Structure 1
């Protein structure tokens, strides 16, 4: 039996009926103690059951588990943010097996940014958006926390340290999803509308 982390349950309950299947899987990947890639389906099902047994509003664990099954794919590369990826051995993740294979165990933030820029085909988050080019800081924190099995606060502190040393750059810090990119890419990857 899995020991339930109440932080995950509390966070999931705070999202109430807005909780998406991939969000619960990601919460479990980030905060449930784990030594392997991804999380076991059994562990996710136990969190689903805990939510159904403790939620003030009705949480349908059966429907949730069906949604997880329906969204799970064996494809090893990025599809989209609604997809849950099978990693084999009855383990799943919100990130594809190819990402885990390339980055597993690493917490090198620059390595993640380079990988997402160069090797994560179809990963739309790196491209231009209203906040510029790069990876949104919040998404980068989640990716490093999940794949690198790191504490999200430590990842955020690492990003701030790299920014302070000038090794990475971000869009305006007051923006909640300031985009992170490698410093040497800052001039090369620039929003073309800024030159007008």
Structure 2
């Protein structure tokens, strides 16, 4: 079992009650190497957070929520948690389904992510409360997928997004909008840009 990352624990404490279950699993997943995270690691974080005097955390309720909302679906099936391991010995959980990890795992090519979401997993866009109208993918969703599926840190994910824009591979809604939609340049019509 992996020990909780101190920085991740402190970030969870700073965020407090505003951090939901998926947010906490995302935080854990971002701070551990490999694809997804082992259930035992999630349990270690729950125990660590519950033991803190400066943080009110119900480990039992959190773990029950993760257990109840974990699916073995290979494709996007809503905002739950996904089993992504191949067998019982390789049981790992991620915020993204196995197909995402198989198709995009380790890639930092923003165009691959946007095309994959639009062409293979458009249901994902229906579950997001971000972005604007249209078929673009909200920037925070691209960054999250780059981190958790691509396995890079936040600054590297941002650099990949900026580089794709600089090359003209993608276009974005107004830059000052933190939830701006990202579009493949080759699919943008004159009236969309």
Task: State if a TM-score over 0.5 links the two structures.
Answer: yes
Contact 2:83–2:97 (8 Å) recurs in 1 = yes
| Inter-partner Cα distance in structure 2 for 1:146 and 1:181 | 20
Shift of 1:189: 8.9
TM-score, structure 1 as length reference = 0.87
Aligned to 1:124: 125
Contact 1:105–1:149 (8 Å) recurs in 2: yes
1:175 counterpart residue number: 177
Q: CA deviation at 1:121?
A: 4.2
CA distance, structure 2, for counterparts of residue 145 and residue 129 of structure 1: 19
The CA RMSD measured in Å over matched residues stands at: 2.3
Q: Residue 2 of structure 1: CA displacement?
A: 2.0
Matched, 1:2 2:5: no
Distance in 1 (alpha carbons) for counterparts of 2:78 and 2:178: 22
**Separation in structure 1 between the aligned mates of residue 4 and residue 72 of structure 2, nearest angstrom:** 27
Change beyond 3 A, Cα 1:65–1:189: farther
Gaps of 5+ in 1: 192-196
Measure, in 1, the Cα distance between the counterparts of 2:81 and 2:122: 17
Distance 1:189 1:151, change over 3 A: farther
Q: 1:40 and 1:105 mapped to 2: Cα distance?
A: 18
* 1:39-61, Cα deviation, whole Å (9 max, x unpaired): 10011111111111225232011
* In 2: Cα distance, 1:158 partner to 1:148 partner: 11
Q: CA separation of 1:122/1:189 partners in 2, compared to 1, >3 Å: closer, same or farther?
A: farther
Deviation at 1:188, TM superposition (A): 7.5
Show structure 2 runs of 5+ residues with no match.
Answer: none
1:18-167, aligned counterparts within 5 Å?
A: 18-32=18-32, 34-35=33-34, 37-54=35-52, 56-81=54-79, 83-88=80-85, 89-124=90-125, 130=132, 132-167=134-169
CA separation of 1:63 and 1:80: change in aligned 2, threshold 3 A = same
Aligned length: 188
Q: 1:3 to 1:123 in 2, by over 3 A?
A: same
